Every structure is written in C-alpha cells, then in structure tokens.
A and B are shown apart, each in its own frame.
Chain A
Amino acid sequence: MAYEQMTGAKILIRALIDQGVTDVFGYPGGAILPVYDELHQQNQIRHILVRQEGGAVHGAEGYARSSGQVGVVIVTSGPGATNAVTGLADALMDSVPLVCFSGQVPTHLIGNDAFQECDTTGITRPVTKHNYLVKKTEDLARTIHEAFYVARSGRPGPVLVDLPKDVQLGTGAYMPPEDISHKTYRPVVKGKATDIERAVELMAGAKRPIFYCGGGVINSGPRASELLTRLVRMTGYPTTLTLMGLGAFPASDPQFLGMLGMHGTYEANMAMHDCDVMIAIGSRFDDRVTGRLDAFSPGSKKIHVDIDPSSINKNVMVDIGIVGDVANVLEDMIAAWERRKATPDRRALDDWWQQINAWRARKCLNFLQDPKVIKPQQAIRRLYELTRDRDEVFITTEVGQHQMWAAQHFGFDKPNRWMTSGGLGTMGYGLPSAMGVQLAHPGALVVDIAGEASIMMNIQEMSTIAQYQLPVKVFILNNEYMGMVRQWQELLHGSRYSQSYMASLPDFVKLADAFGGVGLRAERPDQLDDVIREMIETPRCVIADILVDKAENCFPMIPSGAAHNEMLMGPADKAEQPISENGMVLV
C-alpha cells in the first residue's frame, strides 16, 4: 500500500487539514502533549488557547453554528475531558456538529487508575452522538474521518475521539478522507415522494394553517432558509419559529408571528392552538414549545419533517411524518405545490389572518417604560434598532430572562446569526460562544447578550478574547438577580427568593479594564443609546453594564402545565391563575 507512514500526532494534524479545519479550540496537558508538539510545528491550523476547557467547547459551538463548519476541540485526559462534558451535552441537545479530541493515558495503563485517567468514553457516551477510544495508531486516520462524517451528517452532533498517548506517539498509515466510507451510518436525506404529495395535498386544503419551524432548518444550511421563505410566501400561510429556529424565516416579514412556546407571542401560541393544519419543519415538539401535551393544538392535522426518525411521534403523534433533510424536502414540496397549481381557500385564509391580526392587536410584547429605570426590553430594542442597518450582526446569549427578551425583541432576518443554548440551557454559553463566532467572522459585530449571573460562569474567557484581540461585546442586562429563577420563585414559591440574589457582584467596568477591554455603564434610560453607540464603535472588547429594572418579569408566559391558550400576559394575570399541582413538578 502506498499510504504514508507517520506518527499518530502527525496523522491527527494531517486529517484536520484534509477535513478543511483552520481553527481549533483547546487546552494542553500531559496526555495530549505529542499533539501539541505537532501543532507547534505547523502553521495551517490556528490553535485558540482558552482559559477553561468548557470555554473551548462553547467556543467551537459558536464557531460551528455561525459558520456551518464542524467545530474542533482538543483537551487533555482526566480533568480536561470532564471539563468538556457540559459543552458536549449542550451540543448534543442543540444538534451542533463538533469533534472533540481528548488525550488519554497509554493503552497499557487504561483501567489502572493512572494519573489523570478517567473513563472518558464511558462518561461522554450519553452526551455525544458517538465516541471512540482509538487503541491502535493504524486505526486513527479512519476514526478521525469517520468522526467528522458522523458529526456533520444527518442530525448533527458532537463526537469525541479519545487518544491514548502511545497511539499519538506510535506510527501508522495515513489515509485521506476520500478512501473512507462508514460501515453503517447512512442518514436518509430524501423524503418519501408519496408522503410529500400527501402533505402538500393536506396543506393546500387547509383553512387555518401554520408553519412551525425550528433549528433543523438552520442545520440544513442557508439554502433551507431560502426555500422555506419561498414556500411560506407562495402559500401565504403564517409562520412561527422556535427559539432555535430564529432567523430561518425573516423576522421582518409580515407573515412571521414571532417565536412560539413558553415565552412566545400570544398570536403564535393562539394560532398553534387553533390551527387545522400544522406544518412542523425541523422542530422537535419540545416541552417548552408544546405546553400541556393533552391540550396541544387539539384540532389539527400535523405534518412533521425531520431528519431524525426518533424526533417524529416522540412527544406528539403526527399524521404525516417525513424523514429527510429540510432543504431536500422543501424543494420537493415546492415542486409538488407548483405542479398541482395549489390555490388555498382564499376566503378561509382571509378569515384566519383576520383572527391572527386580532390576536396581534393585543401587542403582547408591549412593556411600560419608566423615565428613571431602564427596562430590559427597551435595552434590547435599542440594541436592535441601533444595529439593524449593519450587515453582519451576530448575537449570542447566556441563559435567563435576558435570553428570552433577546429572542422576543431582537429581529433576525438571516440564519446563523443567533446562537443560544436552548436544549440544555447552559449559563456561561454566551461569552465563549461569542468568541467562537468572532473568530469565524472577524469583521462582524458580535454581541453576547448576558445576565450578570450567567456571565460569571465563564468570565475567564475574557482573557482569551484579550489574547486574540477579539472585539466581542458583552451586553449585560444587570438586574442583580438570577432573574429567571426569581420569576419562578415569585410565581411558584410565594416570592421566597431563596439564593437568587446576586450579592457581591464585581464592578463590571473595572473588570473589563482588568481584562484589557473597555468598560461602559448605563444607569438611566437617557444614557442607554450613548452607551450602545460607544460599545459598537469601540474596536475592542467591551463590557457594557446596563443596570435594568430589578423586578421586571418576562411575559407573555405559558405557566408550567398550562396550554397555549392559557397564557399569562403580564403581572396582573398571575393572581387569578394559580399554577396547578401538576404544573409545580415540571421544569
């Protein structure tokens, strides 16, 4: 065989280059040193040295989600690998393609409780799409190429490759990606023609239709968003997006009803409840979206397009399930729609839009301004308005009220511009993720919309941001509370604010300074615009500490255990509707 022989560490670098990787996020240690030695002797791959391995994984997530590439992480054995676990779980829940390489003790020591040994493949099995322990250098090239293939194909997800030190140092043959095909894994991407035909027939006959689309549209690539936009406009049907789907259809389009679900808009949730045909595309009927299952859209026929057969009929039984890739299926749906020259029932559709507009007229996202304190919603709105004419704006978030306000009040017209931790809800995601986004898009404006509690979870990455001179902006809605926790305690636990007040917060302006960035603060509404403008114009990393109303709650809200048509619209609603006992146990 003509394959070139080289060390495992060299094979890894070669494989990364052949996979088109240009950036990796990582942190060295004893068990991965041979790889770091090789990294040092080449210049095709840039290594971003994070400050904690968790930052590396979220960094790779932001990089991947904003660019469509596979994110790559390198960590050492033991604590390096365990620090990566949260990020892997996050990527699994949100379908983010990653490959994580972890060092491991040499094969002859595995199982001996060797220094910095842990059962990395055992620990990460439930939080990865797949993982490998490579036992021979000879298997390494194939395994790495397979890992990239698995990470990006079908429903994307994180894959871990555990690399014992002797495998890195040993010698084996290098095989290029073209020479390798996977034995078993072949996801179905083309939808069944008969099902698509049936689906389009059902759609064409709808009187109260709705498109309910999600992260799968984003996963399928920018073309899927274009096709979705085309189909939606061809049909004239209303469209709602999940938290993960924001940007898959333009927020500025009149057919967009806003996000649905627990903190979705009144019109989106009411339309979901009352529709007669639901077209779910790349969305997974998450509990945050459905509310009480037995009252979820009771009168509708449901179509569900998803690349993962396990997403179909998991929480909600549907009438037509189509397994396939969104872009692929949408193309066929559009063709079928055009072929049958489908003309929806205009009268019925007009009535439906009239009903929707009546719901819209409730203006559920309205909030009361206050001349003395900044309302968090107002801060997001101004950030949106002052940046909306810019080409390249990317938003990441932490987790909490600020995340929901960002989803409600910041409009996304394009996919891949919104990076948030939806499925796992990981506080500390936003800052490292923003760092990853900025690395993938050097010229863009990248803002982490943060809470003061969440930002402390991965604040160390400010140091990485300084090292690589990334002009990331951190926009903190500082309410001095774990606001989302405080809100639930107010609604469910008699306003007993157990451990949700953030005492002894750092001075974020000084903190920015300490990390080599610029610190700004807005305390009153009349300072808000100036701070936002200065933040945008500063060509360096900025922390903008926006002191907002401490008591504001996020509405509208479907309380736990309630249905889509039982939303709380504002503070006045809550006294009348105590949360049911069944609702209390839900998260």
Chain B
Amino acid sequence: MYDSNLVEKHTIAVLVDNEPGVLARVIGLFSGRGYNIESLTVAETDPSCRRSRITIVTSGTPMIIEQIKAQLNRLVPVHKVSDLTVEGEYVDREMALIKVRGKGEHRVEALRIADIFRARVVDSTNESFVFEIVGKTGKLDAFIKLMQALGLVDVARTGVVAIGRGVDAL
C-alpha cells in the first residue's frame, strides 16, 4: 500500500463554533499530543452563526495524520474536519508583508524583483519599501530569500488559507 513511516504534509480545514477557548482546544490538542503545526490560520467566516474556519498545515505519518483528524473531530465544538490534501484539488494561498531597507541600486533591484513576483508596494519611504505578496508558500519563501540580499528587515506572514476547487462547499 504505502510506506507507513513516510512523513506527509497535509492541509486540513476545520469548521468550528466560534466559542471562547475553541482555538486553545485545537492548539492544546496539537501540543499535548506532540503533533506538528507548520501553519495555522483562523478567522470567523460566517458571523450569522458564529462559525470560524481554521486551516492547519501539518505533517506526520499516515497513521498520525489519521489520528490528527480523528482527534480534531472529537472536539465538541468542531463541525467538520476536511483533509484537503486527500479530498481532491484545492487552492492554497498565503499573504506576506515584507519590509526591505536600502538605497540606490538595491532599491531598484528590489522593485524589479517585486515586479516579477507581482508583489505590490504598500508603503514607501526614502530608504524603505513594504511589499505585499500573495501566493503559494513556496513563492513567498523564494521572494523573501531574494530580498535578504537587498536589505530585508521585517517579515509578517498570514499562514496558509485553502479551499477546495469546484462547486462543492466544505
């Protein structure tokens, strides 16, 4: 079948009741049971019924991934757990704000690269830019790496949000 010791990366979407402590329950589950969190995002997505959506990127062996999903499902305020990685195609995106400080040649080069990556300038001074970049995690990583040589001073990232392709809802 599959190699049971191979570590896989999975993107999991969780619909929860946005009640006090629900995020602490999810995070406590991961820390208490020793699971990895590579990225976790959360926000209320349906204010009318106080429903939030949590997107978690995690990694583990197939058995651990199955446990993670079962354990998430066991939490009382959880409505639905969906493993986007195995349930067909999905789109995932991350956003970052990146501050680069520099003068002269470096500034020009930073702008040139930002253009290639379709990063937007959202703030600027005589010796700095803040870029906004949206894309897959790998694209953000690559952009940040290039900026290091050009005066990178600060990074803020949202973590991954993801949604399935096609007509169906979670």
Contacts and interface: CB of A to CB of B under 8 A. Distances in A.
Nearest to B1: A317
B25 A125 contact: yes
A150 interface: yes
Contacts of B39: none
Interface range on chain B (Cβ under 8 Å from partner): 20 to 34
Interface in A140-192: 150, 183-185
A184 B32 contact: no
A184 B74 contact: no
Contacts of A309: 70, 73-74
B79 interface: yes
A308 B66 contact: no
Interface string B57-87: 0000001001100110111111100000000
Interface in A110-149: 121-122, 125-126, 129-131, 133
Given A184-B76, A185-B76, A126 B70 contact: no
B2 to A, nearest CB: 11
Contacts of B25: 125
A125 B63 contact: no
Contacts of B77: 184
B138 interface: no
B71 A310 contact: yes
A309 B75 CA distance: 12
B61 to A, nearest CB: 11
Contact of B28 (A126, A150, A308): A126
A354 interface: no
Contacts of B20: 133
B63 A317 contact: yes
A125 B17 contact: no
A357 interface: no
B47 interface: no
A518 B70 CA distance: 51
B21 interface: yes
Contact of A308 (B21, B32, B74, B78): B74
Interface in A296-341: 308-310, 312-314, 317
Nearest to B29: A126
B120 to A, nearest CB: 40
A125 B28 contact: yes
A125 B74 contact: no
Nearest to A323: B70
A183 B74 contact: no
Contact of B70 (A129, A183, A184, A310): A310
Interface string B115-145: 0000000000000000000000000000000
A184 B21 contact: no
Interface residues of A, number: 19
B10 to A, nearest CB: 16
B70 A121 contact: no
A327 B20 CA distance: 36
B73 to A, nearest CB: 7
B79 A126 contact: no
Nearest to B32: A126
Nearest to A317: B63
B170 interface: no
A314 B77 CA distance: 22
Contact of B24 (A125, A184, A185, A313): A125
Contacts of A121: 21
B79 A184 contact: yes
Interface string A38-58: 000000000000000000000
A308 B70 CA distance: 8
Nearest to A185: B76
A25 B107 CA distance: 71
A314 B17 contact: no
A184 B17 contact: yes
B78 A184 contact: yes
Interface centre among B20, B25, B67 (most CB of A within 10 A): B67
Contacts of B73: 309-310
Contacts of A150: 76
Interface string B1-23: 00010000000000001001100
Contacts of A310: 67, 70-71, 73-74
A183 B79 CA distance: 8
A121 B28 CA distance: 13
A312 B66 CA distance: 9
Contacts of B70: 308-310, 312, 314
B76 A313 contact: no
Interface in A90-117: none
B63 A313 contact: yes
Nearest to B75: A130
B82 to A, nearest CB: 15
B24 A129 contact: no
Nearest to A159: B76
Contacts of A122: 24
A185 B70 CA distance: 14
B69 to A, nearest CB: 9
A129 B75 CA distance: 8
Contacts of B67: 310, 313-314
A150 B78 CA distance: 13
Nearest to A182: B76
Contacts of A129: 76
B51 to A, nearest CB: 10
A357 to B, nearest CB: 37
Interface string B24-35: 110010001000
Contacts of B63: 313-314, 317
Given A125-B25, A130-B76, A313-B63, A183 B71 contact: no
A183 B70 CA distance: 19
Given A129-B76, A309-B70, A313-B63, A183 B21 contact: no
A4 to B, nearest CB: 26
A126 B28 CA distance: 7
A309 B78 CA distance: 14
A51 B74 CA distance: 34
Given A184-B77, A184-B79, A308-B74, A125 B66 contact: no
24 contacts: A121-B21, A122-B24, A125-B21, A125-B28, A126-B32, A150-B76, A184-B17, A184-B77, A184-B78, A184-B79, A185-B76, A309-B70, A309-B73, A309-B74, A310-B67, A310-B71, A310-B73, A313-B63, A313-B66, A313-B67, A314-B63, A314-B67, A317-B4, A317-B63
Given A309-B70, A310-B70, A313-B66, 12 more contacts: A122-B24, A125-B21, A126-B32, A129-B76, A131-B21, A133-B21, A184-B17, A184-B79, A308-B70, A310-B74, A313-B67, A314-B67
Q: Which 8 A-B pairs have the closest CB atoms?
A: A310-B70, A130-B76, A309-B70, A185-B76, A310-B71, A184-B79, A126-B32, A310-B74
